Structure 1
Amino acid sequence: MEAAMNWGVAGAILLAAAVLIGAFGAHALRERLDAYATGIYERAVFYHAVHGLGLLALGIATSARVAAQPAADAAGWLIAAGIIVFSGSLYALALTGMRRLGAITPLGGLAFVAGWCAFALALSGGFATR
């Protein structure tokens, strides 16, 4: 159960970070970013927040023993990696304009998809006991 609480804590921390990063973009970067970069930045914040909520839900599901722990842990790591790679590459692209950073963004998207599939597996009792 301790690991389940950690996913909930990780989700809450990532949500707080998404709010701070979003506020930074809306205020400190308002004059610095053009419309294209602002759109990219906002997309990064959106996916960051949505998947932070996913980790929060994962923590709740494992704490309630609704999700099997091994698959839940796989889901958590994949979703966390997706936030880092997907949103991180978009944040960097928006701030630097280095378009080649966009080449790694789909890898983060794949991590998100794999994470949600692992979450579904965890909810169905996959890998082990609850």
Structure 2
Amino acid sequence: MKVFIVIGAINAFLAVAFGAFGAHGLANKLEPKYLEIWKTGVTYQMFHATGILVAGILLGKVASSSLFTWSGWLMVIGIILFSGSLYLLSLTKVGILGAITPLGGVSFLAAWVLMIIGAVKYL
């Protein structure tokens, strides 16, 4: 599905941009603990940007698969919740934002399970 190729590429671009911003713009402004949290957000965003691209490619082969469609959308949701909460936590130091992060992690896990099921079923 074209939308996942576009969303995946945008997220990969943003992960590179956020990584560079963290390394150059935040390096002397954040405590090491918060810089590591930022880096974790970037890393997971890039992994799942790639996963979104894979979902899009798989949908090109199996266009009617709700498994791959849901996998892609759950990765988008996961990036917003997981990486987004880590970025906000790093910048604001508001600890309660860390409570949102596991919801993104569960979205990521569900997305990968759906991709596995879809691969077994269709490929």
Q: What TM-score do you get using the length of structure 1 for normalisation?
A: 0.88
Unaligned runs of 5+ in 2: none
* In structure 2, distance between residues paired with 1:50 and 1:83: 10
Percent identity among equivalent residues? 41
Deviation at 1:68, TM superposition (A): 5.1
Unaligned runs of 5+ in 1: none
Structure 2 counterpart of 1:112, one-letter code: F
Kept in 2: contact 1:7–1:56 (CA 8 A): yes
**Equivalent in the alignment of 2:94:** 98
Q: Which residue, 30, 46, 49 being the options, matches 1:33?
A: 30
- Give the aligned length: 123
Q: Which residue, 80, 83, 87 being the options, matches 1:87?
A: 83
Structure 1 counterpart of 2:37, one-letter code: I
Deviation at 1:118, TM superposition (A): 1.2
Runs of 4+ in 1 over 4 A off after TM superposition: none
Question: What is the CA RMSD across the aligned residues, in angstroms?
Answer: 1.6
* In structure 2, distance between residues paired with 1:117 and 1:9: 22
Find out whether 1:47 has 2:41 as its counterpart: no
Structure 2 counterpart of 1:25, one-letter code: G
Deviation at 1:124, TM superposition (A): 2.6
**Equivalent in the alignment of 1:12:** 9
Q: What TM-score do you get using the length of structure 2 for normalisation?
A: 0.93
Which is worse superposed, 14-23 or 117-126? 117-126
Kept in 2: contact 1:78–1:114 (CA 8 A): yes
